[in-house]
Amino acid sequence: MAHSEQPKVRVDAYESVFGALAHAARRQVLLTIYFNGGSMTAGEIAAIFEHAWQTTTRHLRVLERAGLLTHEKRGRKRIYRIERKRLELVRDWLAHFSKNSMH
Amino acid sequence: MAHSEQPKVRVDAYESVFGALAHAARRQVLLTIYFNGGSMTAGEIAAIFEHAWQTTTRHLRVLERAGLLTHEKRGRKRIYRIERKRLELVRDWLAHFSKNSMH
DNA sequence: CAGTCATTTAGCCATTTGGCTTAATATTGT
DNA sequence: ACAATATTAAGCCAAATGGCTAAATGACTG
């Protein structure tokens, strides 16, 4: 019966999104996918880094848990897509500092 | 001779700012200071949390290193002030995802 | 089916983080 | 000077993070 579960969900959303953005490699992943048209395979993404593939896989998982990426299987490839909408959560948080309440 | 030292500075800026925002307590500090008119003493800030003061001091240090806070001594108190301008760095980063380059 | 390709999962390990407690410092009031 | 106040600094420790390597999965190819 629609008992507000929303707030906690939201809070955790901030937690996971800000957490995900806290690593340079993950920010880089988002930018790269975006400038590549919005989606890329795991392999293409991994190729932009020097560190081991598996490390990138881990970053992708973090980004996905945060809702910033989704993936879709296409044969033996996995295509990751950026969820631009999810980034708005950051913008929303920043907006608090513009509501010029009482200054 | 103005050899571009700017880029690295900028990159580290993203690193420290996003890093600082990755912890709920630190986001809370910023919001609280902001809604308190932009500045608060260390004690007032510490009072909003259940954990030990010293832990808050640590968070304040992180926020300050990131340029999101500055402080000023006033007798035995330390007044922390939010640097709203610094938050624009986040907005700037997000802006990359609006430049509808090639989509 | 055996082999290769694309990718993830699992598990190890060093480093960082974020609590805590116990000093230390600096400023003010008596 | 002495005690009290406001606050940071230092150092300990458990937990989280982010690398790595080795193994597993799942799809395609001959």
Using the CA of A46, give the nucleotide whose C1' is nearest. Answer: C7
* Angstrom distance (rounded) from CA A84 to CA B98: 9
Which helix (H) or strand (E) is B48 found in, with range?
Answer: none
Cβ-defined contact of B87 to A94 (cutoff 8 Å) = yes
Judge if the beta carbon of A57 is closer than 7 A to nucleic acid strand C: yes
Judge if the beta carbon of A23 is closer than 7 A to nucleic acid strand C: no
**pLDDT value of residue B22:** 98
Which helix (H) or strand (E) is A25 found in, with range?
Answer: helix A24-35
* Angstrom distance (rounded) from CA B72 to CA B64: 12
Query: Amino acid letter at A74?
Result: R
* A85: closest chain B residue by CA: B97
Cβ-defined contact of B22 to A27 (cutoff 8 Å) = no
Q: What nucleotides of chain D have any atom within 7 angstroms of a protein Cβ?
A: 5-11, 17-23, 26-28
User: Whose CA is closest to A80, among A28, A30, A6, A35?
Assistant: A30
A54-103 pLDDT tens trace: 999 999 999 999 999 999 999 999 999 999 999 999 999 999 999 765 54
- Per DSSP, the three-state class of B82 is strand
A1-40 pLDDT tens trace: 444 445 556 658 999 999 999 999 999 999 999 999 999 9
pTM, two decimals, is 0.89
* Angstrom distance (rounded) from CA B88 to CA B37: 18
Q: How confident is the model at residue B33 (pLDDT cuts 50, 70, 90)?
A: very high
Judge if the beta carbon of A38 is closer than 7 A to nucleic acid strand C: no
